Structure 1
Amino acid sequence: MPTQTVADYLLSRLREWGIDNVFAFPGDGINGILASFGKSDNNPKFIQARHEEMAAFEAVGYAKFTGRVGVCMATSGPGAIHLLNGLYDAKLDHVPVVAIVGQTARSAMGGAYQQEVDLLTLFKDVASDYIQMVTVPEQLPNVLDRAIRIAVGKRAPTAIVIPSDVQELEYTPPTHAFKMVPSSMDIRWPEIQPDDDAIRGAAELLNSGSKVAMLIGQGARGAAAEVREVADLLGAGVAKALLGKDSLPDDLPYVTGSIGLLGTRPSYEMMRDCDTLLTVGSSFPYTQFMPKEGQARGVQIDIDPGMIGLRYPYEFNIVSDAASALRALIPHLRRKEDRSWRDDIESKVSRWWETMRAQAMVEADPVNPMRLFSELSDQLPMNAIVTADSGSSANWYARQLKFRGDVRGSLSGNLATMGPGVPYAIGAKFGHPDRPVIAFAGDGAIQMNGLNELITIKRYWREWADPRLIVAILHNDDLNQVTWEMRAMGGAPAFRESQDLPDVDYAAMASVLGLGSISVTAPDQLASAWEKALSADRPTVLDVRTDPDIPPIPPHATFEQALNSAKAMLKGDDSVWGVIREGVKTKAQEFIPHQGNDH
C-alpha cells in the first residue's frame, strides 16, 4: 500500500469536512500538496485563479453566498503575500475563510533562503483568531480542524502554514501519549438564546416608542420572517446596512433601502426623525447617519459580543442569534394602532423609487450609469446573485437595484477594496452553479484584475449547470468614484494624470475568449442587452459606455460637499459643464411631482 503523505492526509481531511473547492494558484512551496491533488483525482477541486489575491476573493465570495467555509491556497513568499487583501476583506466583513500556505523547508528556515518570509508574523493580524505552522505530521489534524472550526465559529479568516518538506513526510497520526493533541471532526453549533429579562426590558422600550426605526445587517439574513413580523407590530420602517441589502426584499413598502454614504433619502430621514431604534445583526459604522445621541432610545441584537454596544448608546445590548431574539420579543410586543409613522415611511419609499427611476432616465452622454442598474431591476431573476465592485458601481448597486424574491448580493463592505466584483461572482458560481450571477464593475476595477479573471470564467463555465455569469462594465475611462471624492471632499478638480484610464474594447476582449459580448453605446439598447445576456448560453460581458459626469453623491449630501464640488469645478475641472448639466437634471428629479405625489 502506498505511503500516505501529510499532503495526502490534508486533502482527505478537507474532504471529511465537506470542502468541495479550493481556490488557489500553484507554486513550488505547495508542490507536495499539488501532487496529492493529482493522486486524489482532484478532490476537493483545485480551482486555478489567475492570481492569489483573486483566489482569496473567490473563497470570500464562495463563503458569503453559501454560508460555508471558503478555502484558498498559495505557495510560500509572494504567493502568501498576495492572499492578504482578500483575507482582510474576509476579516472586516466577518466571513469564514481558511488559507493554506506553503513555506520553505524547515532546514532552510532562518537562513535568508529564497522566498523565505516570516509567515506567522505576516498573518498575525489578518488571521489573528488562528494562525499556526505544522512542523510534524502528528500536528496536522488538530491544526486543520481548529482552523476550520474557529473560522466558522468566529466568522473570520484563519491560516495554516505547512513547510514544503513537511508536506512530503509520511503521515502518522497523533498517539496516546504526553504532549500529543488528538482531534475530532464533529461540531454542533448552538442557537444562542437571549436573556429573558433583557427581552422583557427591550420590549417595554420598543412598545413605548411612537416612531420606531429598524436597522438590519447581514446578521439578520436568517431572520427575515421575524424581522417582517416585528416591523409590522412596531409600525417600523426597515433600513439596511450595505452588507444587509439582501436580508430583506426591496419590494416591501416599508423597507427604506440602504443607509449611509451610499444610502437613500427615506433611510436618512427615518433615522433623523425616529424616537426609537432597533438594530439587528449590523455593525454599521457611520454614526452620523444614526439618530443623534439623546434623540432615540435603542436596542441592539447581535450574535457577536465583540460587536455589541457599538455606534450608538443603546439601552439594551442583547447577545443572541437574531431569529431567536426576535421570536422571543414578538409575544411581548403590542401592535401599534397609530400607523401614521409607518404610512409616512411607505409614502416616502414609494416616492423614492419613482425618483430613482426618473433619475435613471435622465439623458446622459452616452449612457446614464443609473439606467444600467434600473433596467436590470425590471428583469432580475428571482434567484439571481449580484456582486458589485468598489467604486461608483457600489453607489448604484446600493440605491438603484431593487432586490426581490431570493436575490442575493454582496460587495466588499468594510474594506471597500477594489477588485472583488468578478472573483466574488466566480466564487458564487462554484457555490451555486445552478443560479445566474451578475457582477458590476467599473473599468478601473476591470483593468486592475477583472480582465484576467475573465480567463478563469472561460476555463470553468462549461462545468456550471446554469452558464449565465454576466460581467457588466461601467466603461467611462475615469476612476469615477475618486474623481467625485476629490471634488466633494477635498474641493479639488480631477487630476487627470491619476484619474484618466486607457480606453479598452472590453467586448472585443471577451469575444477573443469565446465569451458572449455586447457593446452598449445608447440607453435604448440596455433593456435588450440585459434580455440577451440573461438568456445567453454562456457568460457574457456587457461593455457599457457610461457618462462620468453623472454625480454619485447621495441625495442627503451636505451643503459643504456640494459647495466643494462647485468650487472644484471652477478651479479648472475639464468636466465642469457636463457635471453641472447632469447634476442639475438628476437632482431635479427629487422635486418633480410623480404620479400625483406632491411631497
Structure 2
Amino acid sequence: MSSTVGDHLVSRLATWGARRFYGYPGDGIGGVISAVGRAQERGEAEFVQVRHEETAGFAATADVNFGGSPLGVCVVTSGPGAVHALNGLYDAKLDHVPVVAVLGQTATTALGTSYYQELDLVRLFSDVAGEFVFQVTSPGQLQHVVDRAARFALDRRTVTAIVLPSDVQEADAVTTVPEGHGWTHTSAVPSSPPNVPRETHLRDAADLLRSGRRVAILAGVGAAGATEELTAVADALGAGVAKALLGKTILDDRLPWVTGAIGLLGTRPSYELMRGCDVLLLVGTTMPYSEYYPAPGQARAVQIDVDGTRCGLRYPTEVNLVGDAALTLAALLPLLEGAEPDPGWREDVARWNTVWDEWGRERAEAAADPLNPELVVREISPRLDDDHLVAVDCGTVTSWFARDLDLRPGQLASLSGTLLSMGGGMPYALAAKQAHPDRPVLAMVGDGAMQMNGINELVTVAQRWRTWADPRFVVLVLNNRDLSFVAWEARAVQGEVPFDAAMDVPDLPYADYAGLLGLGGRRLDSPGDVTAVLDEAFAARRPTVIDAVVDPTVPMIPPHVSKEQVLATLASQLKGDPAAGHIVLEGARETVGAAARALTRRWGRQREGSEDGSGSSAG
C-alpha cells in the first residue's frame, strides 16, 4: 500500500518527538486518523480518544507540561471539531507550550461552496496559531509545512496549526522533494536550545545582585530543571524565594526560606518577602499580579528568561538575561562571591513561614459544614509519593492547592495557568497518566469543573486504566454545590450578594457515578473520616473518585486585603448574604492572623535597625 499524506504527516511529526495524538474522529480528519491507527499497529504512535475536542487541546498541552513529549499534538475534525478545540489550544498559547493542531477541512473540490462544516480555519486560527497556520492543498507541501509548524511551535513555544482538506489527507504522499524551480527543501532537525548570556551581561547582573542585603527571588515554570542551580544562587545571596503558580514543584515547599505561592492565591510570607526586599531576581516567570511585586522604586531587579520579549514585562528591571535558566544561574553563581546578605533576612522569612503555617492549621481546623476544604487538601501532602503527578482545575480548588498542598522536586504539578480555564483538570490528569503510565496521579477538581469536562473524561479513564502500569489515579472532587470562586469575586470585587440561580451547582453523586463506570468511589462528608478515606483512595489499585462535600462559605482571603476589597465584601454582607455569619467570623480570624504576622515582621525589622545602628525600620 502506498504512503498517504496522512501517513507522511504522522511519521514526520514523529521525527520531531510527537508520537501521542489526542483527538476525536470525524470524516473531515478521517485520513489522518486512519494513518495514526496504522502507525499505532506498528508501535510508532498512540491515539488517545477523548470525549470532546476541547479536552484534546488541554491534553496535548498537559502532555508537554508533564514531560511526556517535547511537542503536543491534537487531531480534530473540520468545522465544529476545530471550533471546540480552540479553548484547549489557547491554554497552550498563553502558557507558552509547544502544540501542533492538525485540523480536518472540507475537500478542496468543495471549498468555497458553503459546503457542510466548511469554515475558514486559517482565519479562525490566525490568533491562537498566529505564528504559523497553513492550509495544505498539495501533497508536495506537506513535508515543509510539518517542519515549519513543529519548528515554530518549539522555538516560539506556542501553538501552530496545519489545515488538511480531506481529499489531500488520502492522496499519495510526496516524500522526496525534487530539484527544480518552485520546490524548497527542509530539515526536521530541531534548533539548538537557548544557551548562556554574554559574560559582560552576567557581570552586570552579578554586581546588581551582590548589592542587595535583602534579596527576593520569584521563580516560575521557566525555572523547571534548575532546582540545584536556583538553590545554590539563593544560598549565595541569602535570598528568600517565592514561586509562581506553575513553578510550585521547583523548590520544596517545606524549606524555611521558600515562601510558596505568590499573588491573589498566594501566601502572606510571599507578600512580605516582596514588600521587604531591596533586590529582586525573576527567573522564568511573568506572574501578572503587579500589586504583589515590590513597590516601584523599592527594589532593583534582574530577570532571566528564554524569551527576551518577556523581560521587563511586569517590573522595571535593570538587567535582562536571555538564556536557559539552569545554565544562566550556573554561570552567575561564581560571580556572586562576596555578596553580604543581611544575616537576619532569612530568619525573618522563616518566622513569617512559621506564623503562616500555624495560621494555616488553624484555618484547616475551623468549623465548617460539613467539611473544611483546607483540611482535606492539607491531609493529602504526606500521602503523595515522590514521583506523584498532580493536575489541578481552576476555581477555589486552585487556592487550596497553592496554599495548602506541600510539593517537592521530583513531583510534577500543572494547570491552566494563564488562561485559567475551568474544565482543564481532568484532561490534564489524563494526559499526565498517558505520558507516565507508571506514575501515580492526583486530579484536584471543583464540582463546577467536574460537571464541565470531568464527568465525561472519567469515561476515558474507565476505558484506559487497565493499560496503565500503575493504576493509581485519585480524583478529588471538592463538592461545594457552588461556583464559589465567582461568588467570592461577586462579594469582594462587586460588593454584591452572589446570585443563587447563577452560582448554584447541582449536587451529583460523583462517587456513585464512578462506581457505575467500574471505578472506585467514596463520599466524604465528615472530618472524622478524612484520614481513612484518603488512605483507602491513595492505596487503591484502580482509579478512585473522592466526593468531598465541603463548605462553600470557607473564605478565600487573599494574602493582602485591600481597603476596596473590605468595603465591597462588607457591602455584600449588608445586602443580606446568607453566608454573612461565617464570613465575618473568618474575617476576624484573618485580622488577628495578619496582626500577628505584622508584629513578627516589625520585630524582625527592629532587630535589623538595632544591628546597623540606625534604629529605623527597613524595606
Which of residues 446, 455, 460 in structure 2 aligns to 1:456? 460
Alignment of 1:321 onto 2:320: no
**How far, CA to CA, are the matches of 2:59 and 2:154 in structure 1?**
17
When normalised by structure 1's length, the TM-score is 0.96
**How far, CA to CA, are the matches of 1:588 and 1:408 in structure 2?**
35
**How far, CA to CA, are the matches of 1:360 and 1:587 in structure 2?**
16
**How far, CA to CA, are the matches of 2:305 and 2:39 in structure 1?**
41
Q: Which moved more, 1:335-344 or 1:501-510?
A: 335-344
Question: In the alignment, what sits opposite 1:9?
Answer: 8
Alignment of 1:298 onto 2:297: no
Q: CA deviation at 1:350?
A: 2.3
Question: In the alignment, what sits opposite 1:134?
Answer: 136
8 Å contact kept, 2:250–2:408: no
Q: CA deviation at 1:122?
A: 0.5
**How far, CA to CA, are the matches of 2:262 and 2:434 in structure 1?**
30
CA 88–574 in structure 1, closer or farther in 2 if over 3 Å, else same: same
Following superposition of structure 1 onto structure 2, how do residues 34-49 of structure 1 map, counting pairs within 5 Å? 34-42=33-41, 43-49=44-50
Q: CA deviation at 1:191?
A: 4.0
Question: In the alignment, what sits opposite 1:347?
Answer: 351
8 Å contact kept, 1:468–1:534: yes
Question: In the alignment, what sits opposite 1:32?
Answer: 31
Alignment of 1:60 onto 2:61: yes
What secondary structure sits across from 1:269 in the alignment?
A: helix
**How far, CA to CA, are the matches of 1:26 and 1:588 in structure 2?**
57
Question: In the alignment, what sits opposite 1:146?
Answer: 148
User: Percent same amino acid at aligned positions?
Assistant: 48
What secondary structure sits across from 1:222 in the alignment?
A: coil
- After superposition, give the CA deviation of every residue in 1:145-200 in whole Å (9 maximum; x if it has no partner): 22112211111111101100001111123211211122232225234211211111
CA 598–459 in structure 1, closer or farther in 2 if over 3 Å, else same: farther
State the one-letter code of the partner of 2:101.
Answer: A
Q: CA deviation at 1:34?
A: 2.3
State the one-letter code of the partner of 1:253.
Answer: P
What secondary structure sits across from 1:426 in the alignment?
A: helix
Q: CA deviation at 1:294?
A: 0.9
State the one-letter code of the partner of 2:116.
Answer: Q
Q: CA deviation at 1:39?
A: 3.2
8 Å contact kept, 2:234–2:241: yes
What secondary structure sits across from 2:224 in the alignment?
A: helix
Give the root-mean-square deviation of aligned CA atoms.
1.8
State the one-letter code of the partner of 1:357.
Answer: R
8 Å contact kept, 2:213–2:341: no
**How far, CA to CA, are the matches of 1:54 and 1:292 in structure 2?**
40
8 Å contact kept, 1:549–1:575: yes
CA 465–586 in structure 1, closer or farther in 2 if over 3 Å, else same: farther
Question: In the alignment, what sits opposite 2:120?
Answer: 118
**How far, CA to CA, are the matches of 1:404 and 1:158 in structure 2?**
33
Question: In the alignment, what sits opposite 2:612?
Answer: none
- After superposition, give the CA deviation of every residue in 1:387-420 in whole Å (9 maximum; x if it has no partner): 1111100111111111124111111111111110
8 Å contact kept, 2:139–2:174: yes
8 Å contact kept, 2:271–2:559: no
8 Å contact kept, 2:211–2:339: no
What secondary structure sits across from 2:216 in the alignment?
A: strand
Alignment of 1:193 onto 2:192: no
8 Å contact kept, 1:355–1:590: no
Q: CA deviation at 1:358?
A: 2.1
What secondary structure sits across from 1:553 in the alignment?
A: coil
What secondary structure sits across from 1:494 in the alignment?
A: coil
Question: In the alignment, what sits opposite 1:73?
Answer: 75
- After superposition, give the CA deviation of every residue in 1:544-586 in whole Å (9 maximum; x if it has no partner): 0000010012231213212211220120212222333444456
What secondary structure sits across from 1:83 in the alignment?
A: helix
- After superposition, give the CA deviation of every residue in 1:466-518 in whole Å (9 maximum; x if it has no partner): 11111111111100000000000010001011001111111110110111101
8 Å contact kept, 2:246–2:415: yes
8 Å contact kept, 1:30–1:76: yes
Q: CA deviation at 1:62?
A: 0.7
What secondary structure sits across from 2:380 in the alignment?
A: helix
State the one-letter code of the partner of 1:22.
Answer: F
**How far, CA to CA, are the matches of 2:591 and 2:482 in structure 1?**
22
Which of residues 500, 512, 532 in structure 1 aligns to 2:516? 512
Q: CA deviation at 1:102?
A: 0.5
- After superposition, give the CA deviation of every residue in 1:508-537 in whole Å (9 maximum; x if it has no partner): 101101111011001121222221111111
Pairs aligned (count): 596
Question: In the alignment, what sits opposite 2:617?
Answer: none
Question: In the alignment, what sits opposite 1:565?
Answer: 569
Question: In the alignment, what sits opposite 2:221?
Answer: 218
Q: Which moved more, 1:226-235 or 1:320-329?
A: 320-329
State the one-letter code of the partner of 2:579.
Answer: S
Q: Which moved more, 1:228-237 or 1:195-204?
A: 195-204
Q: CA deviation at 1:351?
A: 2.2
Alignment of 1:484 onto 2:488: yes
Question: In the alignment, what sits opposite 1:361?
Answer: 365
Question: In the alignment, what sits opposite 1:548?
Answer: 552
What secondary structure sits across from 1:71 in the alignment?
A: strand
**How far, CA to CA, are the matches of 1:331 and 1:4 in structure 2?**
55
Q: CA deviation at 1:6?
A: 1.0
8 Å contact kept, 2:29–2:104: yes
Q: Which moved more, 1:80-89 or 1:172-181?
A: 172-181
In structure 2, list runs of 5 or more residues that go unmatched: 604-619
Q: CA deviation at 1:589?
A: 5.3
CA 582–298 in structure 1, closer or farther in 2 if over 3 Å, else same: closer
Alignment of 1:268 onto 2:271: yes
In structure 1, list runs of 5 or more residues that go unmatched: none
**How far, CA to CA, are the matches of 1:340 and 1:148 in structure 2?**
49
Question: In the alignment, what sits opposite 2:398?
Answer: 394
Which of residues 101, 105, 108 in structure 2 aligns to 1:106? 108
8 Å contact kept, 1:221–1:248: no
**How far, CA to CA, are the matches of 2:70 and 2:530 in structure 1?**
35
Q: CA deviation at 1:240?
A: 0.6
Q: Which moved more, 1:169-178 or 1:437-446?
A: 169-178
**How far, CA to CA, are the matches of 2:396 and 2:193 in structure 1?**
40
Q: Which moved more, 1:84-93 or 1:576-585?
A: 576-585
What secondary structure sits across from 2:379 in the alignment?
A: helix
Q: Which moved more, 1:168-177 or 1:216-225?
A: 168-177
What secondary structure sits across from 2:584 in the alignment?
A: helix
